[in-house]
Amino acid sequence: MPDELTQSKILAIDDSEANLLVLESILDDIGFTEIVTVSDPTRALAICRAFDPDLVLLDLHMPRMSGLDVIAAIREQRSAAYLPVLMLTADISSEAKVRALSTGASDFLTKPFDRTEAELRIRNLLQMRHLHLQLHNQNAILEKKVAERTVEVETAKIEILERLAMAAEFRDDQTGEHTKRVGMICALVATALDLEADTAEELERAAPLHDVGKIGIPDRILLKPGRLTPAEFELMKRHTSIGARLLSDSVSPTLQLAEQIAATHHERWDGSGYGNRLLREEIPLAGRILAIADVFDALTHDRPYKTAWPVERAIEEIRRQRGHQFDPNVVDAFLGVQETIDLADAGAIARDLVAEARTRN
């Protein structure tokens, strides 16, 4: 018998000590070294759990607990793993075989034992056991590779989204930091609103694409240092519809959310915003969250048409627009977060809060 098979662990369960001695002799002659015998079937389950055998030799008729009871208990304990059971019996009736097979027996060895037959049946079952383990291990390797590839694809997707967002901002924010900060602030506010951790993370990934439609706005308007004329402002407003169109028809949940945000982040709670003049809850929550994050970051950083406001002044403006430009509940969530953090730490704090939310949910 191949060495890998003789290294297998075998558990023999029989109420007859004489039968166990015969089985040990047969197994020893074959070359097995890891053998455990049990004469009390009521101890079999605990020993099977501790020993973790590759093959069970099991007597059919035993007092206190029959072989059928033992095998049923073992199958319940080892439901996810293939463990062959060689049933030992002098009862070779069809009824006995059907009952044993239906309970989970793999094969039969009749008493008195024939050494050659015993070796052949044991070898066949152990080969099946080892093939099963090899297949299980191969599946585990494949699952690991799939998981690794999934992480790679997800990482690549996130990087592409980040670079697309940076491309949209490149002309009026060459650092690309605005999009990152807006995403982080959105995640913080979403967590403060008790949204699920997955939702907050998805929002953080999608939010940086809110201004992707700026790609379609001429530099003379986008980079104009002064106030836009009414006609220029009408052209600027088109970036919401351009962005939504660029992101439309995607199968990616992140891009679907980004499309929604691009289309609605300039809507106002009082219905006076653009592009569809939505009112209150008609505006998707993601758009309402993004509106505050976008305005706050724009106010507190230099732009071609303005210098940065002090943080305190920007916060006061957010408060003033509560119930007008912004959803009151989102304003309250934002202020609750803003009062306890510095923008420089927004990224790390957002990740910590999302992790806490994931644990809580």
- Every domain of the chain and the residues it spans: 3-141, 170-360
Same fold, 3-141 and 170-360: no
List, in order, residues 6 or more apart from 263 with CB less than 8 Å away.
240, 241, 243, 244, 275, 276, 287
Residue 279, φ and ψ in degrees, nearest 5: -125, 130
What whole-number distance in Å separates Cα of residue 103 and Cα of residue 122? Answer: 19
pLDDT in tens, 47-56: 999 999 999 9
What whole-number distance in Å separates Cα of residue 322 and Cα of residue 316? Answer: 10
pLDDT in tens, 230-258: 999 999 999 999 999 988 888 888 889 99
What whole-number distance in Å separates Cα of residue 133 and Cα of residue 129? Answer: 6
Global confidence as pTM: 0.56
All residue ranges of the chain with pLDDT < 50 are: 1, 343-351, 353-354, 357, 361
Q: What's the confidence (pLDDT) of residue 217?
A: 86
The chain-wide mean pLDDT, for the chain, equals 84
Structure-block tokens of residue 251: 């199968």
What whole-number distance in Å separates Cα of residue 129 and Cα of residue 124? Answer: 9
Q: What's the confidence (pLDDT) of residue 359?
A: 55
What whole-number distance in Å separates Cα of residue 203 and Cα of residue 178? Answer: 15
Q: What's the confidence (pLDDT) of residue 342?
A: 54
Domain 170-360 CATH assignment equals 1.10.3210.10 = yes
CATH architecture of 3-141: 3-Layer(aba) Sandwich (3.40)
From the number of C-beta atoms within 10 Å of its C-beta (0-12, 13-18, 19+), residue 102 rates as exposed
Share of the chain above pLDDT 90, in %: 40
Q: What's the confidence (pLDDT) of residue 266?
A: 95
Angle (CA) 72-76-79 rounded to 5° is 120
- Using DSSP's 3-state secondary structure scheme, residue 299 falls into helix
